[in-house]
Amino acid sequence: MTTTTDSSTEKRPFNLSRWAIGHPSIARFLFGLIILAGAIGLMRMGQKEDPDFTFRVMVVQAIWPGASI
Protein backbone atom coordinates (compact mmCIF):
# COMPACT_ATOMS: atom_id res chain seq x y z
CA MET A 1 0.00 0.00 0.00
CA THR A 2 1.45 3.34 -1.01
CA THR A 3 0.39 6.70 0.27
CA THR A 4 0.63 9.87 -1.70
CA THR A 5 0.57 13.35 -0.31
CA ASP A 6 -0.63 16.32 -2.22
CA SER A 7 2.10 18.97 -2.03
CA SER A 8 -0.41 21.78 -2.58
CA THR A 9 -2.14 21.06 0.73
CA GLU A 10 1.09 20.56 2.67
CA LYS A 11 1.83 23.45 5.04
CA ARG A 12 5.39 24.71 4.71
CA PRO A 13 7.08 27.14 7.10
CA PHE A 14 7.55 30.76 6.03
CA ASN A 15 10.68 31.19 3.91
CA LEU A 16 11.94 34.78 4.14
CA SER A 17 14.50 34.36 1.35
CA ARG A 18 11.91 33.01 -1.10
CA TRP A 19 9.53 35.83 -0.18
CA ALA A 20 12.25 38.51 -0.64
CA ILE A 21 13.15 37.13 -4.07
CA GLY A 22 9.49 37.16 -5.05
CA HIS A 23 8.91 40.72 -3.74
CA PRO A 24 12.20 42.61 -4.35
CA SER A 25 10.86 46.17 -4.12
CA ILE A 26 9.11 45.56 -0.78
CA ALA A 27 12.16 43.70 0.56
CA ARG A 28 14.47 46.59 -0.40
CA PHE A 29 12.13 49.10 1.21
CA LEU A 30 11.97 47.12 4.46
CA PHE A 31 15.75 46.64 4.46
CA GLY A 32 16.28 50.38 3.99
CA LEU A 33 13.75 51.14 6.72
CA ILE A 34 15.60 48.86 9.16
CA ILE A 35 18.96 50.48 8.28
CA LEU A 36 17.48 53.98 8.70
CA ALA A 37 15.92 53.09 12.06
CA GLY A 38 19.25 51.66 13.24
CA ALA A 39 21.15 54.78 12.17
CA ILE A 40 18.65 57.06 13.93
CA GLY A 41 18.83 54.91 17.06
CA LEU A 42 22.62 55.03 17.00
CA MET A 43 22.64 58.83 16.71
CA ARG A 44 20.17 59.26 19.58
CA MET A 45 21.94 56.82 21.89
CA GLY A 46 23.52 58.49 24.91
CA GLN A 47 27.25 58.19 25.26
CA LYS A 48 29.99 59.51 27.53
CA GLU A 49 33.49 60.33 26.41
CA ASP A 50 35.02 58.77 29.52
CA PRO A 51 32.48 56.54 31.26
CA ASP A 52 32.75 55.94 35.01
CA PHE A 53 34.18 52.60 36.00
CA THR A 54 35.99 51.17 38.99
CA PHE A 55 39.33 49.44 38.98
CA ARG A 56 39.26 46.18 40.84
CA VAL A 57 42.73 45.44 42.11
CA MET A 58 44.11 42.41 43.90
CA VAL A 59 47.60 41.98 45.29
CA VAL A 60 49.08 38.50 45.47
CA GLN A 61 52.14 38.03 47.66
CA ALA A 62 54.02 34.74 47.52
CA ILE A 63 56.75 33.90 50.00
CA TRP A 64 59.48 31.59 48.76
CA PRO A 65 62.25 30.99 51.25
CA GLY A 66 65.70 31.14 49.68
CA ALA A 67 64.69 33.13 46.61
CA SER A 68 66.20 36.56 46.04
CA ILE A 69 64.32 39.60 44.86
User: Is residue 69 within 8 Å of residue 63, measured between CB atoms?
Assistant: no
C-alpha–C-alpha distance, residues 17 and 23, integer Å: 10
Q: How wide is the angle at C-alpha 47 spanned by C-alphas 55 and 30, nearest 5°?
A: 130
What's the predicted TM-score (pTM) here?
A: 0.52
- pLDDT tens-digit profile of 1-59? 566 655 667 899 999 999 999 999 999 999 999 999 999 999 999 877 777 888 899 99
Q: How far apart are CA 19 and CA 22, in angstroms?
A: 5
